[in-house]
Amino acid sequence: MSATDLGEARKLADAILYEGYLLYPYRASSQKNRHRWQFGVLAPKAWAELDGSEPWASQTECLLEPRRGASLRVVLRFLQLEARETADGAWDEGIEREVELRFPVTELLAREQVVPFDLPGGRSGEPPRTRWPLFGVIRCRAHRFEGPYGVVKLRLRVENTNRWQGPAGRRDEALRRSLVAAHTLLAVDTGSFVSLLDPPEWARPAVASCDNQHTWPVLVGEEGRDDVLLSSPIILYDHPRVAPESPRDLYDGTEIDEILTLRTMALTEEEKAAARATDARAAAIIDHVDALPPELLERLHGAVRYLSSPGGGQILPQATTGGNGGHQSVPSLDSSTGPGSVPWWDPGADTSVEPATDGVRVNGVRVARGSKVVLRPGRRRADAQDLFLEGRTATVEAVLLDVDGEHHLAVTLDDDPAADLARWHGRYLYFAPDEVEPR
């Protein structure tokens, strides 16, 4: 099996590798860039057991239908942190690492295969860069289910075996001895994996027995392909794709490309210079946004509607105030920059909209900032992460209106210990009015 067989899978895996790597406004001095590495952290065991905020191991269990002579390819991918001294202190960059193994399925059925790995540390360069050694182990085993189908359960464990002495200590120190954004690609040369999300009826009991810890295994590649599996630290669906409208990775996993691009455009030259000095990947983002042609910017918006008459005159948006106290308005998409004009994406483009005071009626009750609601996701559409929030109580922070005239509620969870931090950063959860119940 050649390396090119995983080409499409690697593109998706790269998005996971750098999910949350660097957050807008892309400066080391930004408070939220001092608390990074949200996904796929495998910390030293002793530290993890003392602190409890990160695991020290992950476990993937999946189903495989191997054919005669089948061989399994395992590619563990993660970032090793390297600290670079800057004017703002130390900045931790991520260095891509891979550990690749191959096992005949017959050997995995016979016994567990245990493979240790280590990556050296060191100090070099100018300005100085410091890297700490990493030690880990990969354990892989297969078990054949009895019955006519010949299906095999694979178990893959990745463990951080770095030593840690003393108290739990600072999280940033532990991260430098951690596998960051760890995920695994599994490929079989002759055979197929069984979807854990939509298995055939005969495989459901076997799927139910799979125990996945801190991973989410999904099929990847073109629709219908079943020989490559991605075990991800974030929840995905089978055959996920990177959005074709996205011209490059912006790393900030909690935002959308259009908003990030527009915000980055609005940075001052001093702020852009600080971002470029922070990280080579941040510099590439700034350079990309500065050179982004208008047609690519338009592609980032799901549905661009030109509100101009054939003769060139602008069609002004009509704003009406409904009985619910909210505004039913659609801002102009005119992005002219002449004297007195305001781009359509600027909050000042429609002064009749004010998220801090606007409201919307839900089941006859006016919901606005400060209102308490019970979350009922899934009535219209929801992903798996939303469904975990069913029945949770939240506080409405703002009532927003998009360019299509649809209302959205920005909320924080009442039982979230980090709610104040989310409120300070303005990083909310978003739900439609029909996905909540007034409390």
Give the mean model confidence (pLDDT) for residues 241-264.
Answer: 73
CA atoms within 13 Å, Cβ hemisphere of 27: 16
Predicted pLDDT at 156:
98
* Residue type at position 327: H
Verify that 196 and 58 share a domain, yes or no.
yes
- Token pair belonging to 319: 């704003």
According to DSSP H, which parts of 18-122 are helical? 45-51, 105-110
Range of the domain at 85: 37-232
Predicted pLDDT at 88:
65
Range among 47-56, 100-109, 220-229, 239-248 rated most confident: 100-109
Residue 62 lies in a domain: yes
> How many angstroms separate the first and last alpha carbons of the chain?
57
Verify that 43 and 130 share a domain, yes or no.
yes
Range among 167-171, 233-237, 386-390 rated most confident: 233-237
Q: How confident is the model at residue 254 (pLDDT cuts 50, 70, 90)?
A: low
309 pLDDT exceeds 60? no
Average pLDDT, the chain: 82
| DSSP, residue by residue, 385-419 | HHHTTTT-EEEEEEEEE-TTS-EEEEEEETT-TTH
For residues 425 and 143, what is the distance between their CA atoms, to the nearest angstrom? Answer: 47
Residue carrying structure tokens 């055959």: 239
Residue 167 lies in a domain: yes
More confident residue, 110 or 34: 110
Residue 321 lies in a domain: yes
pLDDT in tens, 267-293: 889 989 988 888 888 898 898 888 888
Give the mean model confidence (pLDDT) for residues 9-30.
Answer: 85
- Token pair belonging to 423: 């409120």
Residue 274 lies in a domain: no
Q: For residue 236, what is the DSSP state? A: -
Q: How confident is the model at residue 367 (pLDDT cuts 50, 70, 90)?
A: very high
Verify that 226 and 100 share a domain, yes or no.
yes
Domain count, the chain: 2
Predicted pLDDT at 112:
97
pLDDT in tens, 67-81: 999 999 999 999 999
Verify that 49 and 152 share a domain, yes or no.
yes
Q: How many CB atoms lie within 10 A of CB 207?
A: 19
Verify that 329 and 198 share a domain, yes or no.
no
Residues 6 or more apart whose Cβ sits within 8 Å of residue 216: 231, 232, 233, 234, 235, 236
Residue 345 lies in a domain: yes
Q: Residue 326: which CATH number? A: 2.30.30
Strand partners, 396: 411
Verify that 58 and 160 share a domain, yes or no.
yes
Strand partners, 393: 374
Verify that 219 and 112 share a domain, yes or no.
yes
Residues 6 or more apart whose Cβ sits within 8 Å of residue 146: none
Predicted pLDDT at 352:
61
For residues 325 and 327, what is the distance between their CA atoms, to the nearest angstrom? Answer: 7
Give the mean model confidence (pLDDT) for residues 213-240.
Answer: 93
Verify that 209 and 326 share a domain, yes or no.
no
Residue 350 lies in a domain: yes
For residues 60 and 157, what is the distance between their CA atoms, to the nearest angstrom? Answer: 6
426 pLDDT exceeds 70? yes
* Domain-terminating residue out of 169, 202, 232: 232
Report how far apart, in Å, the C-alpha atoms of 269 and of each of 46, 242, 266, 278, 289 are.
Answer: 45, 30, 9, 14, 13
* Domain-terminating residue out of 202, 232, 262: 232
Verify that 413 and 317 share a domain, yes or no.
yes
Phi-psi region of 63 (alpha: psi -120 to 50; beta: other; left: phi over 0): beta
- Token pair belonging to 254: 């909690």
Verify that 57 and 200 share a domain, yes or no.
yes
Out of 31-40, 147-156, 345-354, 426-435, least confident range: 345-354
Q: How many CB atoms lie within 10 A of CB 183?
A: 26
- Token pair belonging to 275: 């971002």
Predicted pLDDT at 330:
35
For residues 57 and 1, what is the distance between their CA atoms, to the nearest angstrom? Answer: 28
pTM above 0.75, yes or no: no
Verify that 75 and 183 share a domain, yes or no.
yes
- Binning the chain into helix, strand and coil, the percentages to the nearest 5 are 20, 30, 45
Phi-psi region of 131 (alpha: psi -120 to 50; beta: other; left: phi over 0): beta
pLDDT in tens, 52-69: 889 999 999 999 999 999
* Residue type at position 422: A
* Domain-terminating residue out of 213, 232, 251: 232
Residues of the chain above pLDDT 90, percent: 45
Strand partners, 155: 61, 141
Predicted pLDDT at 302:
57
Range among 63-77, 161-175, 387-401 rated most confident: 63-77
**Are the C-beta atoms of residues 80 and 56 closer than 8 Å to each other?**
no
Verify that 64 and 206 share a domain, yes or no.
yes
Beta strands in 53-133 (DSSP E): 57-66, 71-86, 89-104, 113-119, 122-124, 129-131
For residues 98 and 128, what is the distance between their CA atoms, to the nearest angstrom? Answer: 24
Predicted pLDDT at 5:
67
Residue 14 lies in a domain: no
207 pLDDT exceeds 90? yes
232 pLDDT exceeds 50? yes
Report how far apart, in Å, the C-alpha atoms of 89 and of each of 34, 81, 257, 282 are.
Answer: 11, 15, 29, 17
